[in-house]
Amino acid sequence: LYMRKHRYALNPGLIGWKTFLFTLIYGIWQSIMLPILILVFNIAMFAHVDINEYLALLVVQYIIYLIYALLLYGLFMYMVSERKVQDFKALLFMPLYPFYGLCMRMATVFFTLNELVRRGHEESNMAPWWVLARGKRF
């Protein structure tokens, strides 16, 4: 939606090179392209390798996400947390975080495709009446 309505704003001369690069890396690559690549990778691996190899790849993915989440959690505890004892209790849920991250990435793929194909933002109750009036209903 942002790229459709504000593509002129994605100009390094207008927003500066640092902001432009951050927007490209985080906004486009990590938020849009990376979830699509993860989905395509998992579908391709499921279709082309033996089931045991695929399960081993899933375990490796899980371990990588878990290590990444633990590193971020450690940085949070060290640099941000003001209530370390209470925040330390969240460590119990850390083994579930890779599953949550994967589910959120798949939801990102679904909603991005929904916006690209169906203009899903026009089907929201939160949209102004003039958007809903001209929206294409599916």
Q: What total number of domains does the chain contain?
A: 1
Give Cβ neighbours of residue 77 (< 8 Å, ≥ 6 apart).
84, 87, 88
Give the whole-angstrom CA distance, residue 83 versus residue 96. Answer: 22
Full-model pTM = 0.65
Q: State the chain's mean pLDDT as an integer.
A: 83
Q: What is the mean pLDDT of residues 121-137?
A: 67
Q: Domain limits at 78?
A: 2-134
Q: What is the mean pLDDT of residues 22-31?
A: 77
Nearest to 41 by CA among 69, 24, 64: 64
CA distances from 86 to 26, 68, 72, 98, 109 (A): 30, 21, 17, 22, 34
| Per-residue pLDDT tens digits for 56-99 | 999 998 999 999 999 999 999 999 888 988 888 889 999 999 99
- Least Cα distance to 34 among 96, 104, 105 occurs for 105
